[in-house]
Amino acid sequence: LTDLPGELLELILCCDVLGAADIGRVSCTCRRLREAWPSLLKYYSHSDSVSWLEEYKARHNAGLEAQRIVASFSKRFFSEHVPCDGFSDIETLGCPSHFFEDELMCILNMEGRKGLTWKYYAKKILYFLRQQNILKNLKEYLQRPTERQSFLEGAVLIDQYCNPLSDICLKSVQAQVDDITDKVRKVLRTKNPRHPSLASKAGEILIPEVELQRQVLDAMNCVLYEQLKYKGNELDYYNSLNSYIHQVLIRRTGIPISLSVLYLTIARQLGVKLEPVNFPSHFLLRWCQGKEGSTDIFDYTYIDAFGKGKQLTVKECEYLIGHHVTEEFYGVVTSKEVLQRMVGNLLNLGKRESTDQSYQLLRDSLDLYLAMYPDNVQHLMLQARLYFHLGIWPEKVLDILQHIQALDPSQHGAVGYLVQHTLEHIERRKEELGPEVKHRSDEKHKEVCFSIGLIMKHKRYGYNCVIYGWDPACMMGHEWIRNMNVHSLPHGPHQPFYNVLVEDGSCRYAAQENLEYNSEPREIPHPDIGRYFSEFTGIHYLANTELEIRYPEDLELTRATVQKIYSSGKE
């Protein structure tokens, strides 16, 4: 093909008889097509009649549009969190969204240590786009009749929303569950070669005989807990990974509700109708031993998927949690209520810590909860307070507060307080005069020794970091200075202080006397690195355009410092 004239090659590739698979194979041999088509073939069926020239033009134009929007984000949103209306350009795209997403993935997958700022904003845009699509899918799922709401699909939707950049799809998760189901059938065949579950496809029949159901559950326990070594994660119970169904399948561990969803799905595929029970502190499944649909809680055996499928009586369920509960807690719950509990678990995990990661989890789980219950005043107020605390999206905070006031006028005190302070925040933002520019030539900056982009090491705590800002003296308030014991330093607060991105993902404010050059500089794996830097040279970071505007004389000093320190050949 490479020996053919370009015009002839174009004529061949535009031929109507070529299918998606043909284009995919050609793409793998062509530099220009290789980045686009192999990942896009899933959007075409073998029977589609496609004008590949028009498709290529559409993909090319979507790529240009994506690059334009990504390039604009750094300039527009460098000094603030991307506002809720910052994605308005993306919501009104004039090109197919899957082409746009594909270009964002190409940016994220660029090799090397360049394009860090582009990757940073491409990731944010892709995060937003995918979450919007997942929310739409979740709302469609919730509108279906209850019998068409698969517990597994609901768990996958929650997983996808909290991990939008991961490659998670229902088809892949279902395939893994089907593989476990096949293993159960093999065990079942050795015990009862004529078992009805062996002759039917997934979920086609319900087995009425209790003894035949028991054989299925025994085979499931054998495969899940003995062969595959699934278990409840008692050692790291409060890890959010335990709640994500794709991680449960990878790590073979989880919490009661995630393991119950897996257990219930496999059982139903084998003809055993288990039902979810919203038991307090420990999610369970129930298995009917009496008349189907019985309201007598003693007609059921309760199954603890977290406890290796152990079958429990009512009294043993109470022993499990250490106290008596009323009959209502033994009742079956809907798929929506199961999702509510799963999201509630994630909400509680997000509240446990005050880190960027936990705040993101809290934001995501609040989005999911309010998608299911949009008028829940308690969670609306939590969302408003969270955005207010993070200093983001003040206009959206006002909208949420207005909605709360309309739903529950008794909240006027809390609403009024937040409205007042949010309006003050908006006014302060309007009064900001643009970026402060710091020139090293100014007399007041003569004591500043280090510059933007240098890889440093903290003398006391030993962490590695990169400088992304500095002040000639400590600019924090008296309370922070007192809490951080700054006065115990030889030079106290009257010395340069540096904003640094730390390898553990945190941002810190460090005194000059506590920092030293890192003898073995390496990349700092911080999620915000691309917000400030465009490239890692192998020794230091290069400030992006917006950061360079604020520190116009630092780049030359950084280069001179690097040349002086690492000229011995360590680079």
Rounded CA-CA distance 88/567 in Å is: 48
Helices (H), 163-209: 170-191
303 backbone dihedrals φ, ψ, rounded to 5°: -115, 130
Q: 265: closest CA among 175, 198, 337, 342?
A: 175
3-state SS assignment for residue 113: coil
Q: 257: closest CA among 170, 185, 339, 178?
A: 339
Amino acid at 78: F
Kindly list the distances between the CA atom of residue 327 and the CA atoms of 75, 96, 282, 535, in Å, as whole numbers in the listed order.
59, 52, 15, 62
Rounded CA-CA distance 257/349 in Å is: 15
302 backbone dihedrals φ, ψ, rounded to 5°: -105, 135
CB atoms within 10 A of CB 223: 21
Rounded CA-CA distance 306/303 in Å is: 9
Rounded CA-CA distance 376/372 in Å is: 9
pTM: 0.87
Q: What's the pLDDT at 109?
A: 87
- Are residues 455 and 524 in contact, defined by beta-carbon separation less than 8 angstroms? yes
3-state SS assignment for residue 536: strand
Q: Is the dihedral of CA 56, 58, 64, 69 positive or negative?
A: negative
CB atoms within 10 A of CB 239: 16
Q: Beta strands 275-277 and 310-312: pairing type?
A: unpaired
3-state SS assignment for residue 18: coil
Longest dimension (CA), the chain: 90
CATH code reported for the domain at 443-567: 2.30.30.390
Rounded CA-CA distance 271/273 in Å is: 6
Q: What's the pLDDT at 571?
A: 39
Per-residue pLDDT of the chain (571 residues; tens, 9 = 90+): 767 887 887 788 777 777 777 777 777 777 666 655 656 667 777 666 777 778 878 888 888 988 989 998 888 887 666 666 567 767 677 778 888 888 898 899 888 889 999 999 999 999 999 999 999 999 999 999 998 999 999 999 999 999 999 999 999 999 999 999 999 999 999 999 999 998 866 566 888 899 999 999 999 999 999 999 999 999 999 999 999 999 999 999 999 999 999 999 999 999 999 999 999 999 999 999 888 888 999 999 999 999 999 999 999 999 999 998 999 999 999 999 999 999 999 999 999 877 778 889 999 999 999 999 999 999 999 999 999 988 888 889 999 999 999 999 999 999 999 999 999 988 887 777 677 899 988 999 999 999 999 999 999 999 999 999 999 999 999 999 999 999 999 999 999 999 999 999 889 999 999 999 998 899 999 999 999 999 999 999 999 999 999 999 999 999 999 988 876 544 3
Q: What's the pLDDT at 163?
A: 96
Rounded CA-CA distance 255/485 in Å is: 41
Domain definitions of the chain by residue range? 6-117, 148-339, 384-432, 443-567
